[in-house]
Structure 1
Amino acid sequence: MRLSEIANKEIIDFEKGERLGVLGQTDVMFDEQTGEIHAFIVPTTRWYQFSKKEKDVTVYWQQIKKIGQDMIIIETDSLS
């Protein structure tokens, strides 16, 4: 699967039922030797009482449970 095939899909946390962001807005951590993807770094923006807070969420490849047509379902507790 190519990165372009999964770009622009929403990332949804299965456990929390929460939208984390869109894959097209992420950075990718990968092995330079093999090209294997290790993780996506998703910037998230939240609004709290008229102020904007930005935080990065790291989604490891092992956390991805399902890649659908419009979204990617992850399970954040799967690395425990």
Structure 2
Amino acid sequence: MNCRIEDMRHKEVINIKDGARLGAVSDLEIDTTNARVSAIVIYGRLRWFGLLGREDDIVIRWQDIQVIGDDTILVNYNSPIRTKGPPRGLGALLGYYK
């Protein structure tokens, strides 16, 4: 199957483990040594309209992609367990977290 980068962009990515919508493909990681795509990247969601930055990007290895369809990409992705870290962003500066 041949596919252009432009065709990959904006396809919805769905995790088959839990049915969660991870987002749309934003970028690709390319292994320039072997001239192959090594991963797809989904940019992190904006936090509070982008004023507080973004969440972490999701990087899915090419091996974890199960099916590439016309509108969606099904992946077998283990999401990292996130723990609540120290307060960040504007709320921490203004003292909303105590």
User: Higher strand proportion, which one?
Assistant: 1
Correspondence for 2:70: 69
Q: Distance in 2 between matches of 1:5 and 1:41?
A: 14
Shift of 1:52: 7.7
Q: Runs of at least 4 residues of structure 1 off by over 3 A?
A: none
Q: CA RMSD in A?
A: 2.2
Larger helix percent: 1
Match of 2:37? 37
User: How many residue pairs are counted as aligned between the two chains?
Assistant: 73
DSSP 3-state at the match of 1:5: helix
Greater relative contact order, per chain length (Cα 8 Å cut-off, separation 6+) = 1
**Corresponding letter in the other structure for 1:60:** R
Per-residue deviation, 1:76: 1.2
| Cα distance in 2, alignment partners of residues 54 and 12 from structure 1 | 18
Structure 1 counterpart of 2:6, which letter? Answer: S
Structure 1 equivalent of residue 91 of structure 2:
none
Deviation at 1:10?
A: 0.3
Say if 1:39 and 1:61, in contact at 8 Å, map to a contact too.
yes
The percent of aligned pairs where both chains have the same amino acid is 28
Secondary structure in 2 matching 1:69:
coil
Larger radius of gyration: 2
Q: For residues 1-80 of structure 1, what are the structure 2 equivalents within 5 Å?
A: 1-23=3-25, 26-45=26-45, 54-77=55-78
Instruction: Compute the TM-score of the two structures, normalised by the length of structure 2.
Output: 0.62
Deviation at 1:6, TM superposition (A): 1.9
User: Which runs of 5 or more structure 2 residues have no equivalent in the other structure?
Assistant: 79-98
